[in-house]
């Protein structure tokens, strides 16, 4: 029985990747911001329409660099509904996460609750565009200006997402992307730190390379955040296919909606100012019990959705426990169904058939 995972990496034709490998062998330049890494940064700047891109080892490291580059201390207001890296990066950099609950429709941090979470010790807002759905960027920007706060967007899921006809990566002081193998666009492992500010970009550039500004000269406290030529090669080989990848995810999402029941399930509400990238297909069930039944029924047939995001980050052992009832509730009822480039129409119909059968049993 073929297993259907929640996601599966896209791979370009092998020979197209190998063309880049031939050049790596000829140059014998494997890492340390080689020509392919620099080429990928330029291609991404053009494709995304952002001023500056720093290609880094992974998205989590990008978040850590963002917190460090902005000199953040004290408290950072953030979302409890995201992947654990959003919170762990704050704690790792010696700051304290303060959670503001989410909007039950967008699944993003609720701007009205950000205001209540701000204190004299707050230095920034770190918000996630959950499943590639842009936050209420205008409201967050207004709050940040009012309270003199920095804004970091965890835009790990957002490759291809637009907001007001611009890449969502153009907003905030810093946005980060994940290029992990499971993402819409990937470099096997990798990520990017993006900003519109030249001085900030230069700081991040130095910080990701030990603080080097030349042989024997160090201008920043730095770490090794660079990525390799092999990873950049995969990004360059994948980028020409991104339009097809995004269109396939869009059509598959529409197919799910067509074949799933019209009642007793809810979907994430996408920001009206956005062009969505369909990075995931989350479904919110009407009870945690039904969610568990569907997970078990699909698993019995070798189909493995995932409970993104569970648990609510406000319940982590290394943070101060805070009440976020909406996030807690959604985390217990949400399930991301399989969605990837090679997923077949017959497989989507099989998944939806099992779901309908399970819901029918649950109603009896």
Q: What is the pLDDT of residues 32-88, one digit of tens each?
A: 999 999 999 999 999 999 999 999 999 999 999 999 999 999 999 999 999 999 999
Neighbouring-strand partners of residue 167: 162
Q: Provide CB contacts within 8 A for 101, sequence distance 6+.
A: 80, 109, 110, 113, 324, 325, 326, 327
Beta strands across the sheet bearing 166-167: 166-167, 162-163, 274-275
* ∠ CA 314-319-323, rounded to 5°: 35
Note if the bond before 311 is cis, omega within 30 degrees: yes
pLDDT per residue as tens digits for the range 112-158: 999 999 999 999 999 999 999 999 999 999 999 999 999 999 999 99
Question: SS3 for 81-123, per residue?
Answer: CCCHHHHHHHHHCCCEEEECCECCCCCCECHHHHHHHCCCCEE
Cα–Cα distance for residue pair 23/139, rounded to 1 Å: 47
Write down how long the chain is.
364
Predicted pLDDT of residue 65: 98
Helix ranges, 267-343 (H)? 288-299, 325-333
Sequence-separated (6 or more) residues with CB below 8 Å from residue 41: 53, 54, 55, 192
Return the sign of the alpha-carbon dihedral for residues 48, 54, 58, 61. Answer: negative
CA-nearest of 140, 76, 67, 77 to 106 is 140
Separation CA 68–CA 62 (nearest Å): 10
- 16: region left, alpha or beta (phi > 0 left; psi from -120 to 50 alpha): alpha
**Per-residue confidence (pLDDT) for residue 339, from 0 to 100:** 98
Neighbours of 359 (CB within 10 A): 20
Rounded to 5 degrees, what angle do the CA atoms 6, 11, 16 make? Answer: 175
Which stretches of the chain drop beneath a pLDDT of 50? Answer: none
Q: Is the Cβ–Cβ distance between 2 and 218 less than 8 Å?
A: no
Biggest CA–CA distance in the chain, Å, is 73
Sheet holding 96-99, edge to edge: 52-56, 191-195, 174-178, 150-154, 122-128, 75-78, 96-99
All domains of the chain in start order, with CATH: 14-240 (3.40.640.10), 241-363 (3.90.1150.10)
* pLDDT of 96: 98
Q: How far is residue 74 from each of residues 96, 122, 260, measured CA to CA in Å?
A: 6, 6, 46
Q: What is the pLDDT of residue 364?
A: 76
CB of 338 closer than 8 Å to CB of 296: no
């Amino acid at each position: 029985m073929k297993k259907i995972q929640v996601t599966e990496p896209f791979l370009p034709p092998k020979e197209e990747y190998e063309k880049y490998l031939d050049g790596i062998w000829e140059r014998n330049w494997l890492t340390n911001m080689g020509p392919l890494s620099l080429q990928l940064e330029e291609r991404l700047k053009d494709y995304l329409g952002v001023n500056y891109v720093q290609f880094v080892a992974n998205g989590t490291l990008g978040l850590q660099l963002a917190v460090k580059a902005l000199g953040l201390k004290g408290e950072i207001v953030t979302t409890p509904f995201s992947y654990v890296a959003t919170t762990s990066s704050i704690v790792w950099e010696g700051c304290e996460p303060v959670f503001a609950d989410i909007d039950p429709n967008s699944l993003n941090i609720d701007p009205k609750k950000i205001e209540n979470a701000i204190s004299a010790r707050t230095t920034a807002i770190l918000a996630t565009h959950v499943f590639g759905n842009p936050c209420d960027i205008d409201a967050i920007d207004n709050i940040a200006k009012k309270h003199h706060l920095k804004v970091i967007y965890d835009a790990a899921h957002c490759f291809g997402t637009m907001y007001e006809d611009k890449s969502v990566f153009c907003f905030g002081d810093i946005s980060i992307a994940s290029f992990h193998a499971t993402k819409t666009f990937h470099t096997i492992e990798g990520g990017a730190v993006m900003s519109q500010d030249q001085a900030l970009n230069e700081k991040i550039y130095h910080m990701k390379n030990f603080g080097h500004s030349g042989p024997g000269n160090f201008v920043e406290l730095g770490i090794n955040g660079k990525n390799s030529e092999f990873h950049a090669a995969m990004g360059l080989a994948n980028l020409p296919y991104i339009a097809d990848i995004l269109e396939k995810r869009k059509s598959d999402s529409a197919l799910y909606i067509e074949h799933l029941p019209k009642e007793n399930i809810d979907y994430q509400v996408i920001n009206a100012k956005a062009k969505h990238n369909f990075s995931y297909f989350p479904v919110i069930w009407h009870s945690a019990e039904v969610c568990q039944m569907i997970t078990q029924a699909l698993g019995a047939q070798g189909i493995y959705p995932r409970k993104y995001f569970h648990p609510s980050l406000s319940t982590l052992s290394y943070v101060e426990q805070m009440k976020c009832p909406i996030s807690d509730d959604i985390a217990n009822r949400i399930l991301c169904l399989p969605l990837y480039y090679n997923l077949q129409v017959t497989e989507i119909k099989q998944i939806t058939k099992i779901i309908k059968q399970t819901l029918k049993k649950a109603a009896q």
